């Protein structure tokens, strides 16, 4: 069974640009969550999508957005990039039952210069 796939693995962008990250969940999983990991703030929840609807949202500015497609693949977009957006972005998928744990992808390392 294929795991959670995130693309690309690495990205370098310039301040002010926008970026789109992709996440393909485990087959059959309908929930996809996104997290930002930085040395200073640790792991912070961005948002969760379930069956193409945003089900939960963390405390991030509106520059961070996402969506989910009918095949459960999800994309995350960050507009007007800032230096502080440099981080490892992780996505996780689940069959919809949070208590059973989430399977994480390897992440996308975003560097903003």
Partner 1 sequence: GDSVTQMEGPVTLSEEAFLTINCTYTATGYPSLFWYVQYPGEGLQLLLKATKADDKGSNKGFEATYRKETTSFHLEKGSVQVSDSAVYFCALNAYNQGGKLIFGQGTELSVKP
Residues 49-88 contacting partner 1, CB under 8 A: 50, 55-56, 58
19 contributes a contact to partner 1 by CB under 8 A: no
* Cβ-based neighbours of 34, under 8 Å, separated by 6 or more: 23, 45, 46, 47, 48, 66, 74, 76, 89, 90, 91, 92
Binds partner 1 (CB under 8 A): choice among 2, 14, 62, 101:
101
How far apart CA 34 and CA 54 sit, in angstroms, is 11
Residues 23-52 contacting partner 1, CB under 8 A: 31-33, 35, 42-43, 45, 48, 50
Of the two residues 84 and 98, which places its CB atom closer to partner 1 in the complex? 98
Count Cβ atoms below 10 Å from residue 19 Cβ, excluding itself.
18
100 contributes a contact to partner 1 by CB under 8 A: yes
**Least distance between partner 1 and beta carbon 109 (Å):** 9
Block residue for tokens 């520059």:
63
């Amino acid at each position: 069974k294929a795991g959670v796939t995130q693309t690309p693995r690495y990205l370098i962008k310039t301040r002010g640009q926008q970026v789109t990250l992709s996440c393909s969940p485990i087959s059959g999983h309908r929930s996809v969550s996104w997290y930002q990991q930085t040395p200073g703030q640790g792991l912070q929840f961005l948002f969760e999508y379930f069956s193409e609807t945003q089900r939960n949202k963390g405390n991030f500015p509106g520059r961070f957005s996402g969506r989910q497609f009918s095949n459960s693949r999800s994309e995350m977009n960050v507009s007007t990039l800032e230096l502080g957006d440099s981080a490892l972005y992780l996505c996780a998928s689940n069959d919809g039952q949070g208590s059973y744990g989430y399977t994480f992808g390897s992440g996308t390392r975003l560097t903003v210069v």
